[in-house]
Amino acid sequence: MLYEIRLIAVEDKPEAMKVFSRQLEEVKTLSNQQVILGLIGSSFVLVLSTWGVLSLLNFAQIFIIDINNLARYTMYMILGSALSIAIALIIVLAMIRWPRIVNLPLRIHRFAKRGTGEYFLSPDPPDQSLRTVVRRSLYGSILVVGISLTIFSYDLMVTPPTQIIPSGTFLMLASIIVLPITVLEFYFGPWLIKDSGLFHLDERDRSLSNVGDDLEDILEFFAGVDILFLFLELAISLGSTYPWLPIFIIIIPLGPLFSIVLNFTFIFMIFKKNGTAAMMEFLGTRYEVPDIVSSPDYIRSRVIALVERDLMMNVDIPETLSSEAIIDVILEEPPKAESVDTETESINEVDS
């Protein structure tokens, strides 16, 4: 009987994807004009932020700016912004074509949950807006800087004070080099998983959460903590002599990277519907994750069973009950929902 139910659910996957596709079509998206203006504005942000850093370096007599080369420097910045748009386009198209390349965040979540619980799909993608683009881009730039600081923080701590600024410049370049992989796995990946509506039902913790939200919370926490710790270490070791260095070493990569991540986000918004649909189809067909359309009764039974178990374990026993009645209340268990055939592949059985 369980095999028949599972077989019917798998056969209903194409119909479920049609429902999800219609749902995606109803989502409000950014217009082409907004995307074009956003990319142009991002180029201005890159030019202004880079010139701001160069002006500070020139004021500190660390990097002398040649006034005659202002136009050439600005052209390099604009070309860099255009190059980031081309790289973002390649990454997004590859992610739509092969959604399994962002499989790493799922492995991280499975490791954090120690393989407990089960997954199911219940998508409800939000509308797009310019506010979302700016907020997500700021989060992405902080994430990239935090990951880069994690890799190079030791070198920054042992670097002499006179070499701090060149090290900060090296950090910015290193962040740009690792940017495509970082954005692909830790920025676009959790975002797609979140909008795909992949939920995790943890029986051990009696919790229900969106996997994408969990991943972003973990990544944001570690990136923010690493930036804070590096700032405090630099402030303690160099604050008395160079009080401006702790903030400056973080601002150097953060300013230009924000504009680059902004370009990545605008390109992602163009293909966001396609990417979300590809991710949902990948989760539903490759790992046979139950979804709310093809397996509604099964998902409801699992969620209700979890709630009922929680209520029964926290039930208040009246003082007027006899000892036999108290034992009956304690031993009574809520009805358990039938589990899925363990022979089928689940999302917890990720290929190594």
Q: Determine, yes or no, domain membership for 309.
A: no
User: Is 101 part of any domain?
Assistant: yes
Rounded to whole angstroms, how far apart are CA atoms 337 and 292? Answer: 16
Give the pLDDT score at 156.
56
Instruction: Tell me the C-alpha distance between 202 and 200, whole Å.
Output: 6
CA nearest neighbour of 256 among 23, 81, 116: 81
Average pLDDT, the chain: 77
In a domain, residue 338? The reply is: no
pLDDT of 349: 53
- 344 in any annotated domain: no
pLDDT tens column, 286-330? 888 888 888 888 888 888 887 776 555 555 545 554 444 444 544
DSSP state, 163?
G
350 domain-assigned: no
CA 114, distance to chain mean position in Å, is 20
273: amino acid identity, one letter: K
**Structural domain for 21, as ranges:** 2-295
Q: Which two tokens stand for residue 85?
A: 């748009």
| Residue 14 counted as domain residue | yes
CB atoms within 10 A of CB 309: 15
Tens of pLDDT along 178-218?
A: 778 888 889 999 999 999 999 999 888 778 899 999 998 88
Q: Which pLDDT band holds residue 61 (cuts at 50, 70, 90)? A: low
Which pLDDT does position 195 carry in this prediction? 92
Does residue 304 lie within any of the structural domains?
Answer: no
Q: pLDDT category, 222, cuts 50, 70, 90?
A: confident
Q: Is residue 212 classed as helix, strand or coil in its secondary structure?
A: helix
Residue 134 tokens, joined: 């700016």
What band does 38 get if pLDDT is binned at 50, 70 and 90? very high
Q: Are the beta carbons of 253 and 168 closer than 8 angstroms? A: yes
How far apart CA 90 and CA 83 sit, in angstroms, is 11
Q: Which of 3-12, 145-154, 165-174, 204-213 has the lowest mean pLDDT?
A: 3-12
Counting the structural domains of the chain, the total is 1
pTM as predicted: 0.76
pLDDT of residue 92: 94
* Residues 319-329: tens digit of each pLDDT: 554 444 444 54
Instruction: Answer yes or no: is 140 within a domain.
Output: yes
**Would you say 123 and 21 are in contact if contact means Cβ atoms under 8 Å apart?**
no
